[in-house]
Structure 1
């Protein structure tokens, strides 16, 4: 019975979204198109956890070699409103964890501006006021933000939960119907196994292509986990055998699987995505750590959780403990990275 109600609610929700999309498609509701700067949208059809932030960092690193770029995000769950340029006096709390994480990656790069604004159209205008030399803007989590039409639309979907097998909220995780994928110029299948068979690749491409009238560029990426970094200097950058994994992200399972596959015994403390840690959370982490019955142990967090934790007033209580975060990046399957980058370059030159 509960499942039936969820389906009914998803039909109602879907009807509202379809009507909204139709109004934009028929130009009844207006969408802004910029000739300059060039705008690249990065987003998904589903709720979070598809790997948008690693892709934004990848694109920013790639494009800032040639262009002055800006990364514009809404700053989800930030404790502020309006337009803000991220700088040294801001924090994950004031601008959001993901924009602040991106900012930390480009502290020494003068060609990268990171900003937040709920209204992307206003945000683009404000970015250009702040830095008129910006040539490319990366819009984070903007696939459903139809008030602005990107020059290039990149859609992310995960290998294990692809959009073509999902359903609309609240019965599933989709923000809009599957046919919304037709707006994508490029589709990235993220969090894929590193060594996919050609038959698996072809099967997934066939399913994705069903939602496009023209041939769409489809790429597969997997997550690369880098060496752990100790939060306090002087600690060894090597993970012990027993770990307390603390996560506040949408999809923590791949990290846990990675750690367990590498021989670690993992106790997992899970918080919701974008969780702002409170005093009780810090105390719980410390208690759980001390309960681990092994002398060779540590706490492991994600890099996104790291930027939220460092602003906590009780952070000094974790300082005596071995706490590590693990940086990640994306890698392309079957030597397709050059093809992907060529597609990006071609789009910006057109």
Structure 2
């Protein structure tokens, strides 16, 4: 621990007391958790952001939407609206949030996408407008205990696992480590390529220390696709990039690019869920001019791209090559099949029970 962490420790104890009391009230039935007839799947974490929830939700969409009619429900963090919103053709990142807008942009022909802070109010509204929905995936709802989910999937990263982290404000945990017990399965995300079985077993042992019962533990990495242009006038990326991101941790992207023999000449790291401004576009232009003689291009994430595509902002960077780096979850086939089999079985069984 850093010295400043000792100064913050009393605040972490207070935070722990508040979150523990809240959880005990739900466990004792003093606060009610609402179940629903439609199967509900929560994708969440113990930490504040950065565990790869959006790529994992997209992974579920890719593997489940051909079998089930899915809806995706998010709080819509960072949006400039409140209350329930159903994503539609005229929706924007400022209305529904950058990550829900990203999902809607990519999968609007496959799934229903909605946002709402109060999930137990939003779910009936989704079903009223889309009664054909067979399962709802809730992004970042592990702490939303007013919902009694049918399946809780907890994500924790390889680099910063929950068992090495601390409660806010000392660390990044929203609640104590022991609350991993509410999960039905744990997925370790952002794992390195070719992770050895011995290391997986060691990781499982450390996770299991906090479990009261055996839970399945899976391992997932990230797989990056070929960068594609925002502006079609620049069809091909070069091998030198200025990395522009508004995510929790751009370091894994930089390391992955370097492993692919790409050069990152500079990183512009904005806060997570950052909404870009004309001033930001000016900064991007200035950085690009600094390296333009080296034949560089701007590289950003899909989450950032949905905001940069705003016509007013895009006009300000129309003369520089901006590329988007797609990313998706990558799992070993055996683990992927086991995870998806468990999820599909739950959905099928729950829907069968509802029909009786």
Q: What is the TM-score of this pair, normalised by structure 1?
A: 0.96
Cα RMSD, aligned residues only: 1.2
CA contact (8 A) 2:278 2:316 kept: no
Q: How does 1:180-199 map onto structure 2 within 5 Å?
A: 180-199=179-198
In 2, Cα distance between equivalents of 1:194 and 1:262: 13
Counterpart for residue 3 of structure 1 = 5
Counterpart for residue 33 of structure 1 = 35
Counterpart for residue 141 of structure 2 = 142
CA contact (8 A) 1:242 1:294 kept: no
Counterpart for residue 15 of structure 1 = 17
SS of 1:251's equivalent in the other structure is coil
Q: How does 1:85-234 map onto structure 2 within 5 Å?
A: 85-109=86-110, 112-234=111-233
In 2, Cα distance between equivalents of 1:309 and 1:216: 41
Asked whether 1:255 is paired with 2:261, we answer: no
In 2, Cα distance between equivalents of 1:242 and 1:193: 23
CA contact (8 A) 1:225 1:328 kept: yes
SS of 2:42's equivalent in the other structure is strand
Equivalences, count:
346
CA contact (8 A) 1:227 1:326 kept: yes
In 1, Cα distance between equivalents of 2:347 and 2:289: 53
Per-residue CA shift, 1:70-89, capped at 9, x if unaligned? 10001001011111110110
CA contact (8 A) 2:156 2:189 kept: yes
In 2, Cα distance between equivalents of 1:14 and 1:234: 53
Q: What is the TM-score of this pair, normalised by structure 2?
A: 0.95
Counterpart for residue 310 of structure 1 = 309
Per-residue CA shift, 1:46-66, capped at 9, x if unaligned? 011101001111112222112
The unaligned stretches of length 5 or more in structure 2 are 350-356
Counterpart for residue 285 of structure 2 = 286
SS of 2:220's equivalent in the other structure is strand
More displaced stretch, 55-64 vs 132-141: 55-64
The unaligned stretches of length 5 or more in structure 1 are none
CA contact (8 A) 2:152 2:184 kept: yes
Per-residue CA shift, 1:97-118, capped at 9, x if unaligned? 0000110111322xx1000001
Per-residue CA shift, 1:226-265, capped at 9, x if unaligned? 000011114223x323211100001211111111222333
Counterpart for residue 320 of structure 2 = 321
In 2, Cα distance between equivalents of 1:241 and 1:59: 32
